[in-house]
Amino acid sequence: MERARARDADAFELLVEEHLAGIHRIAVAIVGPADAMDVTQDTFVAAWQQLPRLRNADAFAGWLRRIGVNAARQWLRRTRRRREWGSLEENQGPMVDASEGQRDFRTAVEARALIEPAIERLTPDQRAILALHYTLGYSIADAADALDIRVGTAKSRLNAALRSLRSAIDPAAADGEAEAEIEATS
């Protein structure tokens, strides 16, 4: 870490190799697989530029995670074109119909067609909290830390994101369910 902070590119490359997969997962979860490599690269460029200012070397992982989340949010704000968005589990194969034990491609396609437009309408902040909490499994407190916001703000953004998704998918079911979900995840 000290060598990297002293601008040793080889030492920084070791840090990149160690944290690349985690940063890429964050990028995929927030911006989608199509733009994840660009966001990952932006993250490490920003980290290289800001590394000499990092005071506590032990805080590197959290500091880098915040840079990654912010890079993803900025990417969403800069780009207005349609993006692919999905969970990490989605890349592990199609859904399985438990009743028949067969791969059910139709269900997966229909679910994606329903959820993608709803996710596209979320703000970058809402997408970030949703991705960190549900896709990456961060607790509300850890997601708030990664976003550098208060826990109450994280809960509020998650609530707003869930409400927006529910109203886009099924307007009748949206009322009252988001609040119960926030309480259950706290």
Element (H or E) spanning 102, and its range? strand 102-103
Neighbours of 42 (CB within 10 A): 19
- pLDDT single digits (tens) 59-100: 999 999 999 999 999 999 888 544 444 444 444 333 344 444
Distances in Å between the alpha carbon of 54 and those of 78, 121, 150? 26, 35, 22
When comparing pLDDT for 110 and 51, which is higher? 51
Whether residue 160 contacts residue 133, with contact meaning beta carbons closer than 8 Å, is answered with no
pTM of the model: 0.68
- pLDDT single digits (tens) 15-58: 999 999 999 999 999 998 989 999 999 999 999 999 988 888 88
When comparing pLDDT for 110 and 70, which is higher? 70
